[in-house]
Chain A
Amino acid sequence: MVDSLKARLIIIGLLVLGSIWSLWPRQVTIRVRGAEGRMTDTTVQRVPIKLGLDLRGGMHLGLEIDRAKVTAGTPSDALDRALRVIRTRIDEFGVAEPLVQKVGLDRIVVELPGVSDPGRAKQIALRTAFLQFQMTDKQGLFRNALPGIDRALTAAGVTERSVGAAVGDTSAPRAAGPSSAVEDILGAAAGPQARAGADTAQAQADTLGNQLGQGPLSPLLFAGQLPGEYLVREEKVAIVDRMLARPEAQRLLPRGFVLRWGAEAMSRGAVAYRGFYILEERPIMTGEFLVNAQARLDPLYNQATVDFELTRRGGRVFERETGQHVGDHMAIVLDNVVQSQPPVIRSQIASRGQIELGSASLQEAQDLALVLKAGALPAPLQVVEERTVGPSMGADSIQKGILAGIVGITLVVLLVIVYYRFSGVLAVLALTLYVLFTFAGLAALGATLTLPGIAGFALSITIAVDANVLIFERIREELAAGKSLRLAVDAGFKMAMNAIVDSNVSMVLTAAFLFWFGTGPVKGFAVTLILGVLASMITAIFVVRTLFMVYLQRRPGLQTLSI
């Protein structure tokens, strides 16, 4: 223990200066979207205490990489790559002070404070954005395989009705997300109108012509306008998809080709059709070679498009490949979905091209350009945890938390002053330093203040007070036992020390375990509790002692104490 009063005052002064320094408003760099839509770094001046998502609003996402779908490299490489890609995307998306970090072996945590459109941010983070350019089946191999597939399906007892019923049974109404579009369509297909509609479908077939044959599958398909394109009535999409996914059908599909659905329905008269395409499995080009992507609105068709540019190497490859396929149709496939109708290659394409997005909005095109530029995710990601707090709720929480904190602290201060009078005032003086130290600790550690954190702060004040209560009670006892004032004060601090240290250490131990297992807001609670307990040790023992020393030194003749 430091015995010289001067040294004590210097230490306290240094602690206070250090705390003020760590809380002083400072330049913080954040990225914001400028007026022209580009991301720029700007600096703002503010107090360096981070507020948790529960107080400022925002989104917390726990993402998990789908290990089974990692194609290249080890899962841990894939995770690192995904981390980089998401970080780039989020930086471009424009959230001030985002957090993207790896947790454990296969998780990534993304925190986006103050994000105004969580749904859009989520899509940007999650989109695989795997871009491929694949040639369509120009030899009609699928067409040739169709009769065989129909026979195999018939042999397996598959009919349109049986598949429709099966699909209808499993279309759980609560399932949404990637498969929801399909299932929504299914819901309609399973209903009675759909069955009635089957006849009109047959009638409509004539308007399109090209009835493809007999069997469970062929009557549902119509040949499209270009090689390798087939059309399916929108409400039959799920049934066809299900039939083609059956092992009997899969076995007979032409080798080296894959089946991909189109992104949007096309209208032929009053009926909506969805295209599906037979594509060469090997892509002639992938998004890996993309260096730049830019969204724009095509003024001619009022259609959103994304212009892209390939690397020099990518450009050479693309030029060679397209040169070999002049006159053929090339599908632009994004995350296994064909974007717009595959255009015909009229001449060699070098390093520039464009993706037409049909009815998508300019914002969707911008988002696509953003994710394409940042690169594809090595494997799909799943959201295993989400916490989103709206900005108004965050503001409400912070208001209530601060009010509760202030009222709680005021009550504690009143109790202490009423009970211990002058000594109580000394303890409360020390408490102001305690508040300063705790917040300085939060700022210095870069810890986050959360709503439970405010509760932890209010509770640790009572722990700070407890230390003083232990000391003051002890001083009273020593005075009652007949000791002189100075001896009683000394003994009070000395004898109470054991209990204070032991109980505070056990408090810090439990809080440390809480910190270890907790997430987000609860971690904030544990941190403020630990910091509060440590700060309370300093103020209740060291600062209050020093205040007593100053007081007693100034009044050498003092024999009684207001305690």
Chain B
Amino acid sequence: MIRLFANANYDFIGVRKWAYAITAAIVIPGMILLAFTGLNYSIEFTGGALVQIRATGATPPSAAELRSALAAGGFEDAEILSFGSDREFVIRARLSAEATGTEDEAQRTAQAVTRTLQGRLGENAVVVDRIESVGPRVGGELRQKALGAVLLSFVATLVYLAFRFEFRFGLACVLATAHDILTTLAFIKYMNLEVSLIVVGAILTVVGYSLNDTIVIFDRTRENLHKYKREDLADIVNRSVNETLPRTVLTNSTSLAALLALLFLAGNVLRPFAWVMAFGVFTGTFSSVYIAAPVLMAIEKRWPGKDARGVRARVQPAVHRAAVEPPPAEA
């Protein structure tokens, strides 16, 4: 029988300062970068046009050839990205916010880009695989809706957790989740991933995953609070993290396995999504241990609960559970 981390007894809470340092090293430069350069939003959010083409001729055009063809058609600002192979390209033209164009400007731009390319390279030399165009107002609405959805899902989860747990648990969960969103944003910035609707979907799913992890640990914490009435909170949290460690490792391995398959096999459209999710699985696990648990302890210290054990909270090696319990029966 394989048992990973059975009777683990790592001092997770003891090394939390190191964990903070790592998190700060990821988040702070990321946020500074974000403040100066912003995120690379997809046209779904900014408004604009995207045309994905596939060259069918014997010698596919280079990005430079496409660029000059587009420049000749008046699209000097269009971005040209190679998409997977040397035959596939994505051409993206964003609309500036102050563009005087009407709402169907994006639509006309997409058509004009398509016509320009087909005109310059030959009608049959390029196959248009995908066209997206989004008017700036529609993009703005979507941006607001996405932000609203993230915030509302926060509130809803907090309410649910406050109802199921105590408020202090819910607050710790939400702070851990906020941490995950920040590190994920930093990751997106470092990787220069395009923030599309599906990436926002990935961020929300990361939130779900992270909550999932935190809840499992807190559920165990809640149980242990009743079981070990004389231990202080730091020990109980540490014990709970250790007890749930096998599950944490196994579940996250299965998630990563599924995500790696998506990352490498599902094609370019889903790749940013798979990257964000894969990172999110890591950060979600990390924050459950190093953000949610210490925050819970801090809240407990400041506003002691009914049992008021947190007042004594300090770091002390956890009692080894295996020492007081019989060794596991082998199957």
Instruction: Mark A residues whose CB is within 8 Å of B.
Output: 54, 62, 64, 118, 172-177, 180, 382-390, 392-393, 396-397, 400-401, 403-405, 407-409, 411-412, 415-416, 418-419, 421, 451-452, 454-455, 458-459, 461-463, 465-466, 469-470, 473, 476-477, 479-482, 495, 498-499, 502-507, 509-511, 513-514, 516-519, 521-522, 525-526, 529, 560-563
Contact = CB atoms under 8 A, between A and B. Distances in A.
Contact of B211 (A454, A455, A503): A503
B315 interface: no
B73 A383 contact: no
A459 B104 contact: no
Contacts of B1: 421, 562-563
Interface in B250-269: 250-251, 253-255, 257-262, 264-267, 269
Given A382-B103, A386-B131, A480 B247 contact: no
Contact of A514 (B102, B201, B216): B201
Interface in B211-230: 211-213, 215-216, 219-220, 223
Given A452-B198, A458-B261, A563-B331, A175 B212 contact: no
Contacts of B109: 174, 176
A455 B274 contact: yes
B104 A516 contact: no
30 contacts: A174-B75, A175-B105, A176-B112, A384-B134, A386-B131, A389-B130, A390-B129, A393-B129, A401-B270, A403-B265, A404-B261, A408-B259, A411-B261, A421-B1, A455-B266, A462-B255, A465-B254, A473-B244, A473-B246, A476-B6, A480-B329, A495-B223, A503-B215, A506-B215, A509-B153, A513-B149, A517-B142, A521-B197, A560-B331, A561-B331
Contacts of A405: 261
B122 interface: no
Q: Which of B243, B264, B331 has the most CB of A within 10 A?
A: B331
Nearest to B201: A522
B331 A562 contact: yes
A503 B205 contact: no
Interface string B83-118: 000000000010000000111111111111001000
Contacts of A465: 251, 254
Contacts of A409: 258
B79 interface: no
A412 B254 contact: yes
Interface stretch (B30-38, B186-194, B304-312, B320-328): B320-328
Contact of A385 (B4, B129, B135): B135
Contact of B157 (A404, A482, A509): A509
Contact of A412 (B106, B153, B258): B258
A420 B244 CA distance: 16
Contacts of A461: 258
A392 B198 CA distance: 22
Nearest to A497: B219
B64 interface: no
Given A177-B111, A510-B157, A390 B149 contact: no
B219 A498 contact: yes
B153 A400 contact: no
B184 interface: no
Contacts of B269: 54, 397, 451
Contact of B134 (A385, A419, A459, A482): A385
B258 A509 contact: no
Interface string B61-91: 0000000000001110000000000000000
Contacts of A421: 1
Contact of B250 (A382, A419, A560): A419
A390 B128 CA distance: 7
Given A175-B105, A463-B212, A466-B212, 7 more contacts: A62-B138, A480-B325, A480-B326, A482-B329, A495-B223, A510-B208, A513-B156
Contacts of A517: 142, 145-146, 148-149
Contact of A560 (B112, B129, B212, B329): B329
Contacts of B2: 418-419
B133 interface: yes
Contacts of A481: 325-326
Q: Which of B1, B128, B258, B265 has the most CB of A within 10 A?
A: B258
Nearest to A423: B331
Contacts of A452: 198, 201, 270, 273
A413 B329 CA distance: 25
A469 B216 CA distance: 12
Nearest to A467: B251
A177 B261 contact: no
Contact of B247 (A387, A473, A507): A473
Contact of B112 (A174, A480, A529, A561): A174
Contact of B133 (A385, A393, A403): A385
B160 interface: yes
Contacts of B106: 384, 386
A257 B114 CA distance: 39
B257 A412 contact: yes
B127 interface: yes
B328 A480 contact: yes
Given A451-B270, A502-B164, A408 B331 contact: no
B254 A454 contact: no
B25 interface: no
Contacts of B6: 476, 480
B45 to A, nearest CB: 12
B261 A390 contact: no
A455 B270 contact: yes
Given A503-B216, A517-B149, A387 B205 contact: no
A382 B273 contact: no
A335 to B, nearest CB: 16
Contacts of B265: 400, 403-404, 407
A513 B204 CA distance: 9
B103 A470 contact: no
B289 interface: no
A383 B130 contact: no
B168 to A, nearest CB: 16
Contacts of B267: 396-397, 400-401, 404
Given A382-B104, A458-B262, A477-B243, A387 B131 contact: yes
Contacts of A522: 197-198, 200-201
B259 to A, nearest CB: 8
A529 B205 contact: yes
Contacts of B270: 401, 404, 451-452, 455
Nearest to B214: A503
A534 to B, nearest CB: 14
Contacts of A526: 201
A386 B107 contact: yes
B115 A176 contact: yes
B130 A175 contact: no
Contact of A382 (B75, B102, B156): B102
A509 B156 contact: yes
A465 B135 CA distance: 42
Nearest to A463: B212
B207 interface: yes
Contacts of B127: 390, 392
A240 B183 CA distance: 60
B23 interface: no
B231 interface: no
B42 to A, nearest CB: 12
A525 B269 CA distance: 14
Contacts of B212: 463, 466, 503-504, 506-507
A468 B208 CA distance: 18
Nearest to B261: A408
